Amino acid sequence: MFENLSDKLQRSFKNLRGQGAITDENISDAMREIRLALLESDVNLDVATNLVEQIRAKAMGSQIATALSPSEQIVKIVHDELVALLGKDIAKFKTASQPPSVILMAGLQGSGKTTTSGKLAAWLKKGGHRPMLVSVDVYRPAAREQLAIVARSINASLYEGKLIDGEAATDSVLRLAKEAKRDAANFGCDILIVDTAGRLGIDQVLMDEMARLKALLNPSEILFVADAMTGQDAVKSAKAFNDLLTITGAVLTKMDGDARGGAALSIRQITGAPIKFIGTGEKPDAFEPFHPDRIVSRIMG
Ligand code: GDP
């Protein structure tokens, strides 16, 4: 995770070592290197520009009266600005006052949505909840079967439901969702995780379906699952999705394979929604709430 970015930032900090004070000149060199490090790590251009401007302003303002060396000052400022960019605190996972709370999972095909639905259920179980899973992807029987396998592997409740011959797809989606919510309530499950149909891109029919699911289920969370390895593409789809449906958070998957970190550093500022969880592997327990400070420590090395 973040190896490339971390190496490049270290290099720019190193170049400041041995400098007696922060000057216009050495700060400009450092800012150029930091900006390049961010852009080469696929951080969004606006995000990188803003971040560097913040760092520059703080660095110039911190010239006087400090016991820290210039490189130490910059390291501290970069650290603090990255934490501010990612959100200082862990974003809260919301539940409804009246169970069952509904969590709508959205994302492009292959982003890790089904795997993440299972991981979230396993994490909730560990926290003392009784989650139930349902897949409303009536377009792909394999997707529903995959969720059933995931549910079995973590020993979580699943609402399977039945498809009815001749029923329109959207009607089936809404009916399954409604039945699952009722089933969750009947079985004392306090959280229903709804795995929705994956999309190849932002697709109007599926977005309409998502809007109807949102209206029907009144979800506590709408989580957009994005593959961190796809960098700015992940950010773009999260933004498009958020513009249409207002997500409550993002889950970044495949962080274990993401050496650059561009999506992780850009997604909150671009969409306005916090990263709530990260996926760090294929196994059900390779999943954790997103801790901005821990991630920044990783980046800073
Ligand atoms: P969906 O089409 O969005 O439902 O995606 P899937 O849940 O089927 O996941 C697609 C692939 O990504 C599968 O091979 C998963 O095992 C893999 N995957 C999901 N999350 C992670 C993760 O955090 N790390 C890694 N390395 N692989 C993941």
Q: Could you tell which of 253, 255, 258 is best to mutate to test the pocket of ligand 1, judged by most ligand atoms within 8 Å of the CB?
A: 253
How far is ligand 1, taken at its centre, from the CA of residue 12, in Å? 35
Q: Rounded to the nearest whole angstrom, what is the distance from the C-alpha of residue 229 to the centroid of ligand 1?
A: 11
Least confident of 11-25, 68-82, 141-155, 209-223: 11-25
pTM, full prediction:
0.94
- Where b means 16+ CB within 10 Å and e means fewer, 55-91 reads bbebbeebeeeeeebbbebbbbbbeebbbebbeeeeb
Closest atom of ligand 1 to CA, residue 107? 3
User: What pLDDT band is residue 65 in, cutting at 50, 70 and 90?
Assistant: low
Query: Facing residues of 226 across strands?
Result: 252
Q: Is the pLDDT of residue 67 over 80?
A: no
> What is the ipTM score, two decimals?
0.99
116: CA distance to ligand 1 center in Å?
A: 8
The finding on whether 230 has its CB within 6 A of some atom of ligand 1 is no
**41 phi and psi, to 5 degrees?**
-90, 10
Q: What is the mean pLDDT of the chain?
A: 93
225 has which bridge partners?
107, 251
Q: Is there an atom of ligand 1 within 6 Å of 198 CB?
A: yes
Is the beta carbon of 279 within 6 A of some atom in ligand 1? yes
- Tens digits of per-residue pLDDT, 161-176? 999 999 999 999 999 9
* 63 band by pLDDT with thresholds 50, 70 and 90: low
CA distance 132 to 152: 11
